[in-house]
C-alpha cells in the first residue's frame, strides 16, 4: 500500500444551509446504488482525513461525507453556536438537504468522537437514522459526577489551546503529528493526509492555519459534559453499534464505562488501538461496521 493517500474527486458537492445560518459542504462518494451512509469526524479533524477508513466502504455504499461546522471545507461560523448540541442539530439539516436533492432513503449514520455524541443526541429525538455506527463515542458511566466526566474534556481543551495553529508548511504539521504520541499508531501516510485536510492557506498570506480555529475546537470540549450527560441509550429510535478503542490505551474514551451501558450500545473494541482507531486499523473498523449492517439487513 502506498504511504500517501489521495482523496478522489467526489461524485457531487453541494452546500447545506443550517437554520442558524451555518453552511456545511457535503460531498458524495462511493456507489450511488448502495445503501446510503452519512459520515463525519472527530473534533478538529475533517471527513476527508478519514479516507483510509471510508474508502473501504465506497464499493458497497452511497457515501455522503461532511465536515462539522467551522471545520474543513466549511466557512468559519459564529463562535457562540459552536457546540455539540449544534453538531447534533446539523445532522438533521444535512439529512434534509441530501433528501431534497437525491430523494428520501434510509440513512446509516457513521460518526466518531464528538460527532458521534451529536448523532446520539439527534437520534434520541428523531427517526432520521435507520442505524448508527459510532466510533469511540464519549459514552460515560452512570453515576459519575460531571466533574469526573469533565476531566478528559478539560485535558483536551487545555492541550488544544496550547498547541500551535499556524505553520510555515503542511509538512511542518505532518512532522509534528509523527512525533505526537496520540498519532503513533496511525497508518503511514495519515499524518500527511491530515496535514493536507485540516490546514488552509492563512488569510494573511503567511503559511497555513487550521481550518477549525483552535479556540473553536477547545470550545467543543469545554461544553461536552453537559451534552454527554443527556445521552440516554434507551431513548434511541434506531439500532446502534459502538466500536471503541482499546480501553487499556491512554487515548480511549471508554475506561471505566459501565458494562450494562456497553451491552445496550452493542459494543465492541479493537485491541491495540487508540482514539483514532479508524486511522490505525481501518480494515477492522470497516469489517465490524459492515458485519453489523449485514446482520441488521442494511448491507
Q: Which tens digits make up the pLDDT trace of 243-296? A: 999 887 765 554 334 445 555 668 899 999 999 999 999 999 999 999 999 999
Place of cell 446482520: 295
Burial annotation 142-152 (CB, 10 A radius, 16+ → b, else e): eeeeeeebbeb
CATH number assigned to the domain covering 12-145+224-295: 3.40.50.1820
| Model pLDDT, residue 251 | 58
Confidence class of residue 143 from pLDDT cuts 50, 70 and 90?
low
Residue 162 CA to residue 265 CA, distance in Å, equals: 34
Residue 12 CA to residue 34 CA, distance in Å, equals: 16
186-229: pLDDT as tens digits: 999 999 999 999 999 999 888 999 999 999 999 999 988 889 88
Instruction: Say how many C-beta atoms besides its own lie within 10 A of residue 28's C-beta.
Output: 18
| Model pLDDT, residue 151 | 83
Percentage with pLDDT > 90 across the chain: 77
| Model pLDDT, residue 263 | 58
Instruction: Name the maximum alpha-carbon separation found in the chain.
Output: 53
Would you list the domain boundaries of the chain? 12-145+224-295
- On the question of pLDDT at 157 being above 60, the answer is yes
Mean pLDDT score of the chain: 92
Nearest CA to 227 among 238, 219, 237? 219
| Model pLDDT, residue 256 | 36
Residue 244 CA to residue 254 CA, distance in Å, equals: 7
Amino acid at each position: 500500500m502506498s504511504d500517501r493517500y489521495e482523496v478522489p474527486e467526489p461524485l457531487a458537492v453541494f452546500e447545506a444551509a443550517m437554520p442558524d445560518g451555518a453552511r456545511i459542504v457535503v460531498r458524495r462518494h462511493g456507489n450511488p446504488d448502495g445503501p446510503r451512509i452519512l459520515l463525519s469526524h472527530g473534533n478538529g479533524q475533517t471527513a476527508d482525513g478519514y479516507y483510509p477508513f471510508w474508502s473501504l466502504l465506497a464499493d458497497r455504499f452511497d457515501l455522503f461525507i461532511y465536515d462539522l461546522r467551522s471545520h474543513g471545507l466549511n466557512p468559519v461560523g459564529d463562535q457562540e453556536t459552536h457546540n455539540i448540541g449544534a453538531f447534533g442539530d446539523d445532522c438533521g439539516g444535512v439529512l434534509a438537504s441530501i433528501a431534497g436533492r437525491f430523494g428520501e432513503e434510509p440513512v446509516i449514520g457513521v460518526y466518531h468522537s464528538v460527532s458521534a455524541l451529536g448523532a446520539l443526541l439527534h437520534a434520541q429525538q428523531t427517526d432520521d437514522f435507520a442505524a448508527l455506527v459510532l466510533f469511540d463515542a464519549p459514552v460515560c458511566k452512570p453515576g459519575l459526577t460531571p466533574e469526573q466526566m469533565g476531566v478528559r474534556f478539560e485535558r483536551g481543551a487545555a492541550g488544544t489551546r496550547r498547541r500551535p495553529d499556524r505553520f510555515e508548511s503542511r509538512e511542518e504539521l505532518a512532522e509534528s503529528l509523527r512525533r505526537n504520541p496520540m498519532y503513533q499508531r496511525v497508518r503511514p501516510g495519515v499524518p500527511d493526509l491530515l496535514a493536507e485536510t485540516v490546514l488552509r492557506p492563512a488569510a494573511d498570506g503567511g503559511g497555513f492555519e487550521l481550518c477549525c480555529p483552535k479556540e473553536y475546537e477547545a470550545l467543543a470540549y469545554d461544553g461536552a459534559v453537559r451534552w454527554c450527560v443527556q445521552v440516554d441509550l434507551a431513548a434511541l429510535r434506531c439500532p446502534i453499534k459502538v466500536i471503541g478503542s482499546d480501553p487499556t490505551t491512554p487515548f480511549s474514551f471508554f475506561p471505566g464505562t459501565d458494562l450494562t451501558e456497553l451491552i445496550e450500545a452493542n459494543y465492541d473494541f479493537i485491541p491495540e488501538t487508540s482514539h483514532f482507531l479508524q486511522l490505525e486499523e481501518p480494515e477492522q473498523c470497516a469489517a465490524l461496521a459492515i458485519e453489523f449492517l449485514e446482520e441488521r439487513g442494511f448491507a
